[in-house]
Amino acid sequence: MDVMARAAEIEALDGRVVHMEVGQPAAKAPLTAREAAARAAMEGTVGYTAALGIPSLRARIARHYVERYNVEVDPSRIVVTTGSSGGFILAFLALFEPGDRVAIASPGYPPYRHILKALGCEPVLIETHAASRWAITPEQLAEAHAAAPLKGVLVASPANPTGTMMTPEALAALVEAAHGLGIRFISDEIYHGLDYAFPAVTAACLSPDVTVIHSFSKYFCMTGWRVGWMVLPPALVRAAERLQQNLSISVPTLSQIAAEAAFDGAGEMEAVKHGYEANRLILGEGLPKAGLPEFLPVDGAFYLYADVSRFSDDSAAFARRLLDEAGVAATPGVDFDPVRGHNFLRLSYCGSQADMHEAVERIGGFLRRG
């Protein structure tokens, strides 16, 4: 947020900023989604829906699992949520009690630990490494559990901020290890669909006892619509329903209508994905030539996590200089990883190809000037 505020100040003075700090698609929601919402808004009263979501949307999400992953998911296990953020709140409340310890990968998405803390739980950061493609391993999970019992583990693939993915074998092994230890497993799959290195696998195909959290925000470019979903173990659905009834009554109706129609706009979304792939190539080839050769595998999502330790041991200060002197807005790694994040920057590549070429040129000039 500090980077965004400073970028706005520069732009207010007619400065040019290449925005790579925000994980928000620049593309619009699918036309099918926008048209469906507009029709519904004009046709009559927009009221509450069932707490679990509009039945036809839940059925369409279930069909999506057959189409994309070839796995059957009963619509009764699907809960529509206010984005993935609402999903995390409902899932954590349904799964855990205050004081419970929940393992999460470091680096990782900051709200995981912030929401857990707000609910009285204890996030347990597990440092990931290149040898495991920056993913938690069964051995690490068992070690953390032996130190003090864990009640849950949360993983994301593709991940934010790293853009790395777990292989299908690694995900399956971690699910099996968690079940063997009696640890609840949560899979954040919000960036599914944006996979480049190899196809993403849903944890829902590995076990009926996992909790999957997804959203229309990233692949479907619907961040501001605030609509997502969960796939829950059958025993947790009623708890999630009662929580949603009390916390928000239901997810915004127009957003649910738009979300159902968004599945019919897959052609548009695939075109957007191809744009991200082109941007990924521009950065992957251009940044080493510009003088920034060290970054994690760019497997999926739309993030590149770059090691800037050869230039600075303070990524926040480095990001400020990069913005002020080169006009490139990037996110320092300190929020994603309290221990090693001072060595990293996250670069979001969900903008235009022209922006990516310009960013490479500007970063190269900045690094050459020292």
Every domain of the chain with CATH number 3.40.640.10 lies at 45-264
Q: What is the mean pLDDT of residues 90-108?
A: 98
Pick the CATH number of 45-264 from 3.40.640.10, 3.20.10.10, 3.30.420.40, 3.40.630.40: 3.40.640.10
Every domain of the chain with CATH number 3.90.1150.10 lies at 2-29+267-369
Pick the CATH number of 2-29+267-369 from 3.40.50.300, 3.40.50.720, 2.30.110.10, 3.90.1150.10: 3.90.1150.10
pLDDT (tens digit per residue) in 347-359: 999 999 999 999 9
pLDDT (tens digit per residue) in 137-187: 999 999 999 999 999 999 999 999 999 999 999 999 999 999 999 999 999
What global pTM score does this model have? Answer: 0.95
Cα–Cα dist 365/110, whole Å = 31
